[in-house]
């Protein structure tokens, strides 16, 4: 714990602020998912079955990388299970504060390692960059069942 605190203190001010924002966003997303049914959360996620533009992110690439890194740093610090949907929602909140367009994808796969049960996954994309949900996951194996495009474009 002390080494984590020392690492935090050593971060530049901007990264400290991003890490704190990521922690708050993760806690808020987790709270929403614990307290509200998905049908109440979905309308706030963006345009259902909409998708934002794919392609080069240009000058937003640095901001996207910073948000991605902040979320990766913050996730181990949040107690409880680390759900992909929580990360995607938190990332969407952070990108919305920056007016950066993004899409949350929800997908399903038949999991052969668990007696062919269905397994769900969520990930977040902005432009051609995946912000959450790709670490150790083959997204091409998932069938997209729903997507939510942010209402604001960057």
* Angle ∠(119,120,122) on CA atoms, nearest 5: 150
Tell me the pLDDT of the chain (154 aa) as tens digits: 456 777 877 888 989 999 999 999 999 999 999 999 999 999 989 999 999 999 877 889 999 999 999 999 999 888 877 799 999 999 999 999 999 999 999 999 977 776 777 889 999 999 999 999 999 899 999 999 999 999 754 4
Q: Provide the pLDDT for residue 152.
A: 56
In a domain, 76, yes or no: yes
What's the pLDDT score for residue 12?
Answer: 87
The predicted model scores a pTM of 0.88
Q: Please name the helix (run of DSSP H) or strand (run of DSSP E) that holds residue 95, with its range, or none.
A: helix 84-97
Q: Per the domain annotation, does 10 fall within a domain? A: yes
Name the domain count of the chain: 1
Domain span including residue 32: 2-149
User: Which of left, alpha, beta for 145 (phi over 0: left; psi -120 to 50: alpha)?
Assistant: alpha
Is position 92 within any domain? Answer: yes
- The DSSP H or E segment spanning 31 is helix 13-35
What pLDDT shows up at residue 73?
92
In this structure, is residue 126 part of a structural domain? yes
In a domain, 154, yes or no: no
Residue 73 lies in a domain: yes
Supply the pLDDT for residue 78: 86
């Amino acid at each position: 714990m002390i080494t984590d605190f020392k690492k935090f203190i050593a971060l530049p001010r901007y990264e400290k602020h991003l890490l704190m924002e990521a922690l708050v966003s993760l806690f808020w997303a987790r709270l929403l998912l614990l307290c509200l049914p998905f049908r109440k959360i979905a309308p706030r996620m963006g345009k259902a079955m909409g998708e934002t533009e794919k392609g080069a992110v240009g000058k937003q690439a640095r901001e996207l990388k910073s948000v991605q890194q902040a979320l990766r740093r913050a996730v181990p610090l949040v107690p409880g299970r680390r759900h992909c949907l929580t990360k995607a929602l938190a990332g969407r909140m952070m990108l919305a504060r920056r007016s950066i367009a993004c899409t949350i994808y929800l997908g399903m796969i038949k999991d052969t390692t668990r007696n062919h049960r269905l397994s769900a996954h969520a990930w977040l994309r902005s432009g051609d960059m995946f912000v959450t949900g790709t670490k150790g996951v083959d997204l091409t194996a998932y069938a997209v069942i729903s997507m939510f495009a942010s209402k604001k474009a960057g």
